[in-house]
Amino acid sequence: MTEEGNILEVQDLSVHFGHGEGLVKAVDEVSFYVGRGETVALVGESGSGKSISALSLTRLAPRAAVYAGGRVLFNGVDMLERSERELRDIRGSQISYIFQEPMVSFNPVFTIGWQIEEAIRLHRKGIDAVGEVERLLDLVQLPERAAAAYPHQMSGGQLQRCMIAMALACSPELLVADEPTTALDVTVQREILNLLADLSQKVNLSVLMITHNFGIVADLASRVYVMQQGKIVEEGSTKQVLYDPQHDYTKQLMAAVPRLHPVKS
């Protein structure tokens, strides 16, 4: 079982691709946890294994992935031992994802409102889906008229807000945000980050933030795990890692990606 207060505990997770001389250990005995209502960052460059780690929480990694060892405990139950049918019920309703390219997450031929309603109808029977869409759009600071818009009619920032509304449509306990602001300009990034921080408090949402940007870490996360080549190379409180990094890789990441503003004391 997970320790009291932790919604997620990943224990010695290993995810491999290929075999023999071509074996790639994309995730190599990685361990981390997320407390209830806590925002935790998993930081690393592209190819470090952070996104595969996130997708593996609900076995969404590519089909070629082999879950070679470890456990993923969500509310005390190992996700790696659940059936595909059980996982389908958990994805979206208990663990939701938002990604860096929201356009590919929406069907271009249906309105935003219809697509959010569909998610609600699939997972929350008997609820007023139309009214819930209005509530969700208001929660992410979009006007009611956004429900009638098609994805191509929205700006990048608006569409990312819609993606967050979609992720929250089924009242998940854990939100996994995989590089949610990478494709946005700096001003819109700030708006989305502020929104995520506000929502995590309003709805007591646990958040696992996947990013390469230590500016995002400074703003949102209480704790940080740094990944390199499939392994966790450093972990600690945000303040500790930002002000007193121990690993050379962490120092390189911080030098390459300037923070948006200093972490709060």
Write out the chain in H/E/C secondary structure: CCCCCEEEEEEEEEEEECCHHHCEEEEEEEEEEEECCCEEEEECCCCCCHHHHHHHCCCCCCCCCEEEEEEEEECCEEHHHCCHHHHHHHECCCEEEECCCHHHHCCCCCCHHHHHHHHHHHHCCCCCHHHHHHHHHHHCCCCHHHHHCCHHHCCHHHHHHHHHHHHHCCCCCEEEEECCCCCCCHHHHHHHHHHHHHHHHHCCCEEEEEECCHHHHHHHCCEEEEEECCEEEEEEEHHHHHHCCCCHHHHHHHHHCCCCCCCCC
What are the pLDDT digits (tens) for 56-95?
Answer: 999 999 999 999 999 999 999 999 999 999 999 899 889 9
The pLDDT, as a whole number, for residue 1 is 42
Find the distance separating the first CA and the last CA of the chain, reported in whole Å.
33
- Model-wide pTM > 0.85: yes
In a domain, 223, yes or no: no
* Amino acid found at 172: P
In a domain, 146, yes or no: yes
| pLDDT bracket for residue 137 (50, 70, 90) | very high
In a domain, 59, yes or no: no
In a domain, 132, yes or no: yes
In a domain, 90, yes or no: no
In a domain, 43, yes or no: no
Span 100-105, average pLDDT: 77
- Measured in degrees and rounded to the nearest 5, phi and psi for residue 9 equal -135, 120
| Structure tokens belonging to residue 95 | 């663990």
| pLDDT bracket for residue 156 (50, 70, 90) | confident
What are the pLDDT digits (tens) for 193-241?
Answer: 888 888 888 888 999 999 988 878 887 899 999 999 999 999 999 999 9
| Structure tokens belonging to residue 229 | 């080549």
In a domain, 161, yes or no: yes
How many domains does the structure of the chain reveal? 1
The pLDDT, as a whole number, for residue 4 is 63
Residue 137, domain extent? 104-171
More confidently predicted of 122 and 146? 146
Cβ contact 31:232 at 8 Å:
yes
In a domain, 56, yes or no: no
